[in-house]
Amino acid sequence: MAKLIHSMVRVLDEARSVAFYDAAFGLKVADRLDFDGFTLIYLSNADQTFELELTVNKGRTDAYTLGDGYGHLAVSVPDVEAEHARLTGAGLAPRKVVDFRNGDTPVAKFFFIADPDGYQIEVIQRGGRFL
């Protein structure tokens, strides 16, 4: 059976992106591969084997167009309200917490935050199908 191992996003500024993902989600550099035209940085933490791959194309100065195909990454946290407060205190500007329901049935409690390149990350309260 297939196992998801990483997702990749292109970023303009390696240091800014690495600092964001560390401050926001505790992701640390697990590996860094430098090539002539680009650099690959793999981020992870002790809670998972899935990695986020940051691709930095050398010499690029224009922001990437995210287009209408990208949706979001999602992470789960034990206490979404506390995480929202922590990220707000760190100056990372998360959007408001949403209590998402299907009628009277709770689906998820979450908020979104954007990384320095505009990629959206959903931060979801752990529980139910979101462990």
Ordered structural domains, the chain, with CATH = 1-59 (3.10.180.10), 72-131 (3.10.180.10)
* Non-local CB neighbours of 123 within 8 Å, separated by 6+ positions: 74, 75, 76, 77, 80, 83, 84, 87, 94, 110, 111, 112, 113
122/117 Cα distance (integer angstroms): 15
pLDDT score recorded for residue 9:
94
pLDDT tens column, 21-64? 999 999 999 999 999 999 999 999 998 889 999 999 999 999 99
Share of the chain above pLDDT 90, in %: 77
**pLDDT value of position 47:** 86
- DSSP alpha helix (H) spans, 1-131: 14-25, 80-89
As a whole number, the mean pLDDT across the chain is 93
51 annotated active-site: no
Cβ contacts of 126-129, under 8 Å, gap ≥ 24: 126/76, 126/77, 126/78
Alpha carbon distances (Å) from 74 to 32, 62, 112: 23, 26, 9
pLDDT at 85 over 80: yes
Residue 81, φ and ψ in degrees, nearest 5: -65, -45
